[in-house]
């Protein structure tokens, strides 16, 4: 029994009893002075616990005040609490969330893709379109997803019933895209682990040409090797180690004949997935602790490598080549397309990860500040990585007596596993630098894998709570096993060809299209005004005009520009000396469409299964469901008797 002053509305928080669906709680007597506790409005009553923010605006249903009683009188309430779902997990600390988001956004692409694209598109001049695309496209999308996830506290599937039910297929498409990414992204970490294990020796194996995998064309050429000449047929030992020993690409003629699975890489990938499983199997409570190491260690290594690279002979050549502005490049469409694609894939909206991570935040967490901080850290990390890479490329150009653009001709993983690995091998203390460098590559990849799989896990657990909520460990185990089995094709002799195919076709165009539909659904169907009111309810202030204009007009145009460019100028895919035939392009687009097809399929399914006339079905399918319409919500409080 609890006594309360008349007409006093007080905020409450509910803790669920173990295993009970209908648990009445008798709260100790207490007298609350009028105005002593923070008031939140009708619909909430005190249950004797400390006054805190509600988990969600939908959490809790209360009773009205006894307005007919005399001033100073007390009300006696018997409170029965009904909760069929366990309370939602939350981050242990705010830094767990920030490090998880930073670790997700800062991935392998920051280390190799941004430096390469920057020098390819005008050096310092590229920073202008990059920053413009970040301000008007990337950061608004980043902010929108954090706010959506935090307000609705749902994964990427179930959240759509609160926004626009007909777009629920977006959530399923995101989960399929995340699986495709898991099929190939972790293989790159397996390569890095192979390099790491090969680094524990006095002489790194990619330094010499006397190994069993080397060919007569292997040439170890530096300026100090006076008796060695570099020809058009020469191959560096680092390149042969990567191609012939790690990947064994020479044993596969192409995608039509992949060959056997490499057992060494299979074991490396198995170890990676074991680490992933035991980092995420218990939820954000465990993964939030792991990221303290995996998200911070790469910055320490980048700082060490930057200092070491700056002291190498010829480092200045790389820095000048990296930042020398070529303003004429800004007149080409390619530069703006590359800037838009880079900032989009770097920040990573649309993969369900930001929705999942933000859903574990307290309701009044300042996600606006989080979006600005984490996106700024991501962009600055990309810029810093450019110095780390190009100081070493300048050193390699000096040692080989070549131009920097000749040394830096390869983009993608080859830049790390061939050029950078060879540069490290020719430094003093090469073993030490090789170990920390490939550890950094693994850490960068692990963060993104944790995040990508957590997005799928959160989505499925929120969509099927009664089936999966108490079986999280088993579900995560099954998901990891599926990802490992799906990755086996990337571990074959021709696995590098599969990785390139997935990277170019399976994820890029599909996820951009999905995010385009997401922005349209939130801004035009759910409504920018309603969304801004939700943000104001959480943060105490509404987004300004700039953010509204970005969400309604600029972001959709930004995404349409990328989609149109992909369709108008399909990339010519080539890896090493293998030019992908036309049928692989068709296969790639089929893989991409296989995920996106979930969106129109669910629209048709919902319209067919909904009752009523077509107009009624359509209106119902674009109308957000009312709180509680889909069953008992979390932390429901029912007043059964009031005197």
Annotated binding site for Na(+): 103, 105-106, 110, 346, 378, 444, 447-448
CA 555 to CA 135: how far, in whole Å?
A: 10
Closest CA to 382 of 100, 136, 105: 105
Mind giving me the DSSP string for 9-65?
-------PPTT-SEEE-PPPP-B--TTSSPP--TT----SSPP---S-TTS------
Could you tell me if 442 and 189 are in contact, meaning their C-beta atoms sit under 8 angstroms apart? yes
Give the CA distances from residue 30 to residues 12, 48, 640, in Å, rounded to whole numbers and listed in that order.
15, 8, 20
CA 519 to CA 111: how far, in whole Å?
A: 29
Residues whose CB falls within 8 Å of the CB of residue 593, separated by 6 or more in sequence, listed in order: 510
E strand or H helix that includes residue 557: helix 555-568
Residues whose CB falls within 8 Å of the CB of residue 241, separated by 6 or more in sequence, listed in order: 205, 206, 211, 213, 421
75 phi/psi in degrees, rounded to 5: -110, 140
- What angle in degrees, to the nearest 10, is found between the helix axes of 508-520 and 169-198? 140
CA angle 468, 470, 475 (to 5 degrees): 45
- What angle in degrees, to the nearest 10, is found between the helix axes of 333-347 and 108-120? 170
CA 519 to CA 564: how far, in whole Å?
A: 17
Residue matched to tokens 């905020």: 11
The length of the chain in residues reads: 643
Residue 76 pairs with which residues in a beta bridge?
Answer: 3
Tokens of 355: 């929705």
SS3 state of residue 216: coil
- Taking the CA atoms of 354, 356, 360 and 364 in sequence, report the sign of the dihedral they define: positive
Q: 3-class secondary structure for 591-613?
A: HHHHHHCHHHHHHHHHHHHCCCC
Residue matched to tokens 């909760």: 83
CA 454 to CA 178: how far, in whole Å?
A: 10
Alpha helices (runs of H) in 508-554, residue ranges in sequence order:
508-520, 528-539, 545-549
CA 536 to CA 526: how far, in whole Å?
A: 16
Binding residues: 103, 105-106, 110, 346, 378, 444, 447-448
- DSSP code at position 487: H
- What angle in degrees, to the nearest 10, is found between the helix axes of 472-487 and 169-198? 70
CA 149 to CA 625: how far, in whole Å?
A: 17
Distance of CA 88 to the CA centre of its chain: 21
CA 426 to CA 609: how far, in whole Å?
A: 66
Alpha helices (runs of H) in 311-429, residue ranges in sequence order:
315-323, 333-347, 353-358, 367-400, 404-407, 413-414, 421-425
Could you tell me if 8 and 65 are in contact, meaning their C-beta atoms sit under 8 angstroms apart? yes
Residue matched to tokens 């180690």: 241
């Amino acid at each position: 029994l609890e006594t309360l002053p008349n007409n006093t509305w007080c905020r409450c928080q509910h803790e669920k009893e173990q295993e009970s669906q209908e648990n009445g709680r008798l709260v100790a007597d207490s007298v609350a002075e009028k105005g002593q506790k923070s008031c939140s409005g009708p619909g909430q009553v005190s249950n004797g616990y400390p006054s805190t923010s509600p988990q969600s605006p939908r959490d809790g249903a209360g009773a009205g005040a006894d307005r007919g009683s005399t001033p100073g009188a007390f009300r006696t309430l018997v409170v029965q609490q009904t909760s069929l779902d366990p309370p939602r997990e939350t981050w242990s600390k705010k830094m767990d969330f920030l490090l998880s988001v930073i670790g997700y956004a800062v991935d392998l692409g920051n280390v190799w893709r941004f430096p390469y694209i920057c020098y390819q598109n005008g050096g310092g001049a590229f920073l202008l379109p990059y920053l413009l695309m970040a301000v008007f496209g990337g950061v608004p999308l980043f902010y929108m997803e954090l706010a959506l996830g935090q307000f609705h506290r749902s994964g990427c599937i179930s959240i759509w019933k609160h926004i626009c039910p007909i777009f629920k297929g977006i959530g399923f498409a995101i989960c399929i895209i995340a699986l495709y990414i898991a099929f190939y992204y972790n293989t790159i970490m397996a390569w890095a682990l192979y390099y790491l294990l090969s680094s524990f020796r006095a002489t790194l194996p990619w330094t010499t040409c006397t190994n069993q995998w080397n060919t007569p064309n292997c040439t170890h050429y530096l300026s100090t090797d006076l008796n060695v000449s570099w020809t058009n047929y020469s191959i560096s030992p680092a390149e042969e180690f990567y191609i012939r020993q790690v990947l064994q690409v020479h044993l596969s003629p192409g995608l039509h004949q992949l060959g056997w699975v490499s057992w060494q890489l299979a074991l490396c990938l198995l170890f990676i997935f074991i680490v992933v499983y035991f980092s995420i199997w218990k939820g954000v409570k465990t993964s939030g602790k792991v990221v303290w190491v995996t998200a911070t260690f790469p910055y320490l290594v980048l700082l060490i490598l930057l200092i070491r690279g700056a002291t190498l002979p010829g480092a200045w050549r790389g820095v000048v080549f990296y930042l020398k502005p070529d303003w004429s490049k800004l007149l080409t469409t390619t530069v703006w397309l590359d800037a838009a694609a880079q900032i989009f894939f770097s920040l990573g909206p649309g993969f369900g990860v930001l929705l999942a991570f933000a859903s574990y935040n307290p309701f009044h967490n300042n996600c606006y500040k989080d979006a600005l901080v984490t996106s700024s850290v991501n962009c600055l990390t990309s810029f810093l990585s450019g110095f780390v890479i190009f100081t070493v490329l300048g050193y390699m150009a000096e040692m080989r007596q070549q131009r920097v653009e000749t040394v830096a001709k390869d983009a993608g993983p080859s830049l790390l596993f061939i050029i950078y690995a060879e540069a490290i091998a020719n430094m003093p203390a090469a073993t030490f630098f090789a170990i920390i460098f490939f550890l950094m590559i693994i850490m960068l990849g692990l963060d993104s894998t944790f995040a990508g799989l957590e997005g799928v896990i959160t989505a499925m657990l929120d969509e099927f709570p009664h089936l999966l909520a108490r079986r999280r460990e088993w579900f995560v185990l099954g998901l990891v096993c599926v990802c490992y089995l799906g990755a086996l094709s990337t571990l074959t002799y021709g696995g590098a060809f599969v990785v390139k195919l997935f990277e170019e076709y399976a994820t890029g165009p599909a996820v951009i299209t999905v995010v385009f539909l997401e922005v349209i659904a939130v801004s035009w169907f759910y409504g920018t005004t309603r969304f801004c009111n939700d943000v104001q309810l959480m943060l105490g202030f509404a987004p300004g005009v700039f953010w509204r204009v970005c969400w309604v007009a600029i972001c959709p145009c930004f995404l349409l520009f990328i989609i149109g460019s992909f369709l108008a100028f399909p990339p010519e895919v080539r890896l090493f000396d293998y030019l992908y035939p036309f049928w692989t392009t068709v296969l790639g687009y089929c893989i991409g469409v296989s995920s996106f097809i979930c969106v129109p399929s669910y629209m048709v399914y919902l319209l067919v299964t909904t009752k009523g006339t077509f107009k009624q079905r359509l209106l119902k399918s674009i109308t957000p469901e009312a709180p509680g319409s889909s069953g008992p919500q979390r932390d429901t409080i029912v007043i059964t008797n009031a005197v």
